[in-house]
Chain A
Amino acid sequence: MFGISDPQIWISYVLAIVFALACIVYGILNWNSEEESNHGS
C-alpha cells in the first residue's frame, strides 16, 4: 500500500489515521454533551 509492502507498517498508518478520525467524530458528536461520571473517590 502506497509503496509499503510490510502489513505491520501500513496497518500502523491505517490505525493512526482511524484513531485521529475517531477523535474528530467523538468531538463533534459530544460537542455539547455534559455528562458526569458517578464513580470514583
Chain B
Amino acid sequence: MAVDTLTLLIITGIYLIAIIALGVLGYRQTKEHEDFMVAGRKINPIILALSYGATFISTSAIIGFGGVSAYLGMGLVWLTVLNIGLGVLIAFIVFGKKTREIGHRLNAVTFPDLMGKCYDSAFMRNVSAFIIIIGMPLYTAAILIGGARFIETTLYIPYDTALIAFAAIVAVYVIFGGLVAVMYTDALQGAIMFVGMAILLVLTYIYLGGVTEAHTALSSLTYMVPEALAAAGHTGWTSMPTFGSPIWLTLITTLVLGVGIGVLAQPQLVVRFMTVSDNKSLNRAVLVGGPFILMMTGVAFTVGPLTNVFFAKTTGMTAMQACGGNVDLILPMYINAAMPDIFVVIFMLALLAAAMSTLSSLFHTMGTAAGYDLWKGKHGKISVINGIQIGTFVMILASTLLAYIMPGNIIARATAMFMGLCAAAFLPAYAHAMYSKKPSVSAAGASLVTGAVAWFVWTAFVHLKESQALGLSKLITGNDALLPMPWQVVDPIIIALPLSIVALTAVVVYEKTWKKSN
C-alpha cells in the first residue's frame, strides 16, 4: 500500500483511543443490568440511528457484498431498496414502535426475553436464545475474518495476530461497557463510515469521468463477461441477469430477499428499539437511518460494479479476474490502487469501524443470550451483570475459534445464512407477538421450530453451496444435494419462511376452531 505504515498506525491509534474513551464512558454509565442490556432505555435518537445503521452494515455489507456486486452487477441495488424500505421504514415504524412499547411494559431487556415475556413462556425464551448462540457465531466469525483480513492487508499485521487483537479490543469494551459503550462507539463508527463511503462515491465518479460516463463505460464492458457466467445468466454489470437463471436465483433469493427480509428479525437490531424512552425518538431516528443506509449499501453496490471499469483499464481484466477470483479482495484492492493516500486511510478506518460496530453488537447479543436468557437465575453468588459478562466472554471465545476453522471466501454467504435463519425462525413469531392481542404460544413455538428446522434441512441437504461445504448430505445420502437444479440455488429463506408462516397460521386457526367447538 502507498500510505506509509507510521501514518496509518498513528491514525489508527487515535481512533482506538477515541473508542476506548467511549468505552470508559459506557462503563461509567453502566450500573444496573438494565444499563448493560438496553442502555438504561435513554439513548439519543441520533445515536440510535447511527448505531442501528452501523450494526446493520458491517464489513460484510461493504467488502463482501460490494465484492459480490462487482461480480454480479448493479442488480444488487435491489437489496438497498429492501434495506431502506424494510430495514428502516417498516422496521422502525411497524415493528420498532410496538417493540419499544411492549418491551417497556413487560420490562424486556433482550430479544429472547421479549419473546419469553410476550408469550409468557420459558420455552420461547430458551429456544430463541439457543438459536442465537448456535447461529450467531457463524455470522460473527465471518465479520471477524473480514476485519482481520483487512487489517492484515492494510497494516501488514499477520492474520492470526490481527484476528486476536481485533476480537480482544472489541471484547474489552463490550464486556465492561455493555450496550451503552456499544452504542456510543457505534455512533462514532457510523459517522466515520458515512464520511468514508461519501468520499468513495465522489472520487470514483471523478476518477471515471462523471456519472453517466462511468455507467456507459461499464455497460460497454459486457463483452468481458466470462462465458461460463454468461451461460449462467450474467448479462453485464448494468443489467439484471436473465430471469430464472441460476445467477438470477442466487441474486434475488439469497442476496436480495434473504438479507433484505432477514434484517427485520435480527435480535441485535430488535434490542435497539428498546433503548429509547419514547416513540418520538424512533421517528427522529428514521430521518437519519434511511439516508445512512443509502450511503452505505447504495454506494457499495454502485462502486463495486464500477471497479470493473478501473480494472479493465489498468489490467485488461474484470475485477474478479484481477483479484484472483476472491470477491472479498476487490474493493480493498481497488481502493489501494485507485484512491489518494489520505483516502486509503479514511476508508481503512471506515471499514475497521464497520467491522467493530457490527462485531460489538453481535458479541453483546450472544453474551446476553448465553449469560442472561439461558443462565438467568442460576448465577449463584455471581451478580447478574457478572453472569452476562462471563457469557459474553465465552461466546467471544467460541466465535474467535470458529473464525479459525471457517473457510475464507465466505463473508457474504455467512451473512445471508444468518439473516435467513433469523427470518425463518423469528419473524412470524415476532410479528405475532407484536400485533396480536392474545398471541398463541403454541403457534409461535410451532413457527419457530418449523422455521429453524426447515432452514437447516434446506441448507444442509438442498442449497448446494452450503450442503457441499457442510458435507452432511454427502455423508448420509451419498449426494451433495437431494434435489436437482434449480432448487439447488433457491435460498433456504424462500422455503423456510413460508413454512414458518404456515405453521403459525395453521395452529392459530386450529386453536380458534377448537375453542369455538368447545
Given A19-B81, A27-B286, is A3 in contact with B89 using a C-beta cutoff of 8 Å? no
Q: How far is the CB of A4 from chain B (nearest CB, A)?
A: 5
For the A-B complex with A9-B77, A31-B284, A33-B283 known, give 19 more contacts whose Cβ atoms are closer than 8 Å. Answer: A3-B213, A3-B217, A9-B239, A12-B81, A19-B81, A19-B294, A20-B84, A23-B88, A23-B89, A26-B89, A27-B284, A30-B286, A31-B280, A32-B280, A34-B279, A35-B279, A40-B98, A40-B101, A41-B102
Residues of B within 8 A of A8 (CB): 75, 239-240
Question: Which one of B162-170, B353-361, B430-438 is at the A interface?
Answer: B430-438
- Looking at A5, A17, A19, A26, the one whose CB has the most chain B CB atoms below 10 A away is A19
Q: How far is the CA of A12 from the CA of B438 in the complex (A)?
A: 39
**A residues within 8 A CB of B298?**
13, 16, 20
Which residue on chain A has the smallest CB distance to residue B102?
A: A40
- Known A12-B80, A27-B288: A20·B240 in contact at CB below 8 Å: no
**B78 an interface residue at 8 Å Cβ cutoff?**
yes
Residues of chain A with a CB closer than 8 A to B218's CB: 3
On whether the beta carbons of B238 and A24 are closer than 8 Å, the reply is no
In the bound complex, residues from chain A placing their C-beta under 8 Å from that of B239 are: 5-6, 8-9
Any A CB within 8 A of the CB of B315: no
User: Is B244's CB within 8 Å of the partner chain A?
Assistant: no
Give the distance in Å from the alpha carbon of A24 to the alpha carbon of B280 in the complex: 14
Which residue of chain A has its CB nearest to the CB of B214? Answer: A3
Of the residues B77, B215, B286, B434, contact of A40 by C-beta under 8 Å: B434
The answer to whether A36 touches B279 (Cβ under 8 A) is yes
Central interface residue in A3, A17, A26, A34, by most chain B CB within 10 Å: A3
CB distance from A34 to the nearest CB of B (A): 5
> Contact: A26 with B93, CB < 8 Å?
yes
Q: What is the minimal beta-carbon distance from B76 to any residue of chain A, in angstroms?
A: 9
CB <8 Å contact, B84 and A28: no
* Contact indicator B284/A9 (Cβ below 8 Å): no
CA distance A3 to B213 in the complex (A): 7
Given A16-B80, A23-B89, A40-B436: A6 and B238 interface contact (C-beta under 8 Å): yes
Known contacts being A5-B238, A8-B239, A8-B240, is A41 close to B433, with CB within 8 Å?
Answer: yes
Residues of A in contact with B, size category: 20 to 34
Q: Which one of B212, B217, B290 lies within 8 Å of A19 (CB-CB)?
A: B290
In the complex, how many angstroms separate the beta carbon of A23 from the nearest chain B beta carbon? 2
Q: Is the CB of A4 within 8 A of B291?
A: no
- The complex places the Cα of A39 from the Cα of B514 at a distance, in Å, of 24
Task: From B80, B287, B293, give the contact of A28 (CB < 8 A).
Answer: B287
Give chain A residues whose Cβ lies under 8 Å from the Cβ of B289.
Answer: 23
Q: Please count the residue pairs between chain A and chain B whose beta carbons lie under 8 angstroms apart in the complex.
A: 129
Q: Which residues of B lie under 8 Å from residue A35 when comparing CB positions?
A: 279
- Of the candidates A22, A27, A28, A41, the one whose C-beta lies within 8 Å of that of B118 is A41
Is B219 a contact partner of A16 (Cβ separation < 8 A)?
no
The answer, yes or no, to whether B34 is at the interface (CB within 8 Å) is no
Instruction: Verify A24–B279 contact, CB threshold 8 A.
Output: no
In this complex, what residue of B is CB-closest to A32?
B280
Selected from A6, A13, A19, A34, the residue in CB contact (under 8 A) with B85 is: A19
Q: Separation in Å of the A31 CB from the closest CB of chain B?
A: 6
B233-254 contacts to A, CB under 8 A, are 238-240
Interface residues of A (CB under 8 A from B): 2-6, 8-9, 12-13, 15-17, 19-24, 26-28, 30-37, 39-41
A12-B77, A19-B85, A37-B98 are contacts. A27–B240 as well, Cβ < 8 Å?
no
Instruction: Flag whether B216 is at the interface (Cβ < 8 A).
Output: yes
Q: A12-B78, A31-B283 are in contact. Are A37 and B89 (CB under 8 A)?
A: no
Residues of chain B contacted by A33 (CB below 8 angstroms) = 279-280, 283
Contact of A27 among B212, B283, B434, B437 (CB under 8 A): B283
User: In the bound complex, what is the Cα–Cα distance between A28 and B280 (angstroms)?
Assistant: 11
Map CB proximity to A onto B56-97 as digits: 1 under 8 Å, 0 otherwise.
Answer: 000000000000000001110110110011001100010001
Q: How far is the CA of A26 from the CA of B119 in the complex (A)?
A: 32
Is there contact, CB below 8 Å, between A39 and B437? yes
Residues of A within 8 A of B240 (CB): 6, 8-9
Most B CB within 10 A of own CB, among A2, A12, A15: A12
Question: With A20-B84, A26-B283 given, is the CB distance from A34 to B215 under 8 Å?
Answer: no
Q: Which of B73, B75, B291 contacts A24 (CB 8 A)?
A: B291
Residue pairs across A and B with Cβ atoms less than 8 A apart, 22 shown, are A3-B217, A4-B215, A4-B219, A4-B238, A5-B219, A5-B238, A6-B238, A9-B74, A15-B85, A19-B85, A20-B294, A22-B89, A23-B88, A24-B287, A24-B291, A27-B288, A33-B283, A34-B278, A35-B279, A39-B437, A40-B98, A41-B439
User: Which of B212, B217, B219, B438 contacts A41, CB < 8 Å?
Assistant: B438
- C-alpha spacing A40/B434, complex, angstroms: 5
For the complex formed, measure the closest distance between the CB of B441 and the CB atoms of chain A, giving whole angstroms: 10
A30 and B283 within 8 A (CB): yes
Closest A residue by C-beta to B439: A41
Report the Cα distance A40→B95, complex, angstroms. 11
Instruction: State whether A3 touches B284 (Cβ < 8 A).
Output: no
> Is B211 an interface position by the 8 A CB rule?
yes
Q: Check A9 against B75 for contact (C-beta < 8 Å).
A: yes
